[in-house]
């Protein structure tokens, strides 16, 4: 999975009929310091993510392993909303540099 931030929504009436009812959110990829990278995906939302939220996105055929996206033409799904990141190693390395 990768870290992303929901930055928008895609509305589409004319689409594969299996996708009726799907919520497409535009998710920009983030690096570990939560800086936005210039790479994004359009992902189907399965957890009720809102704009501005930091989320986790699963891609590839794994994204079809939810009740809603099963057997549907989907290759990216938002499967978690991130509460907290805990990058222990990064803090450790920063402390070493300061010594």
Partner 1 sequence: MFLGKVIGNVWATKKYQQLKNMKLMFVQPINASYEETDEPIVAVDTAGSGPGEIVYYITASEAVLPLPVNFAPVDASIVGIVDSIYSEE
| List of residues contacting partner 1 (CB under 8 A) | 1-3, 31-32, 46-48, 56, 58-66, 69, 77, 79-90, 92
For partner 1, give the closer residue by CB, 10 or 32: 32
CB of 35 to partner 1, least distance (A): 13
For partner 1, give the closer residue by CB, 20 or 88: 88
For partner 1, give the closer residue by CB, 15 or 90: 90
Q: In whole angstroms, give the CA distance from residue 17 to residue 65.
A: 19
Can you read off the two tokens belonging to residue 7? Answer: 């930055």
Nearest alpha-carbon partner for 41 in 60, 61, 27 = 27
CB of 95 to partner 1, least distance (A): 14
Judge whether 95 and 82 are in contact, CB under 8 Å: no
Q: In whole angstroms, give the CA distance from residue 65 to residue 43.
A: 14
For partner 1, give the closer residue by CB, 21 or 48: 48
Give the pairing of strands 36-45 and 76-81.
parallel
CB of 41 to partner 1, least distance (A): 12
């Amino acid at each position: 999975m990768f870290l992303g931030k929901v930055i928008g929504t895609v509305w589409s009436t004319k689409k594969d009929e299996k996708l009726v009812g799907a919520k497409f959110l535009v998710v920009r990829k983030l690096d570990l310091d939560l800086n936005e990278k210039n790479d994004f995906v359009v992902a189907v939302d399965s957890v009720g993510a809102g704009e501005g939220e930091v989320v986790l996105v699963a891609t590839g055929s794994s994204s079809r392993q939810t009740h809603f996206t099963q057997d549907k033409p989907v290759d990216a799904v938002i499967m978690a909303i991130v509460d907290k990141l805990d990058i222990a190693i990064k803090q450790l390395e920063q402390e070493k540099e300061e010594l």
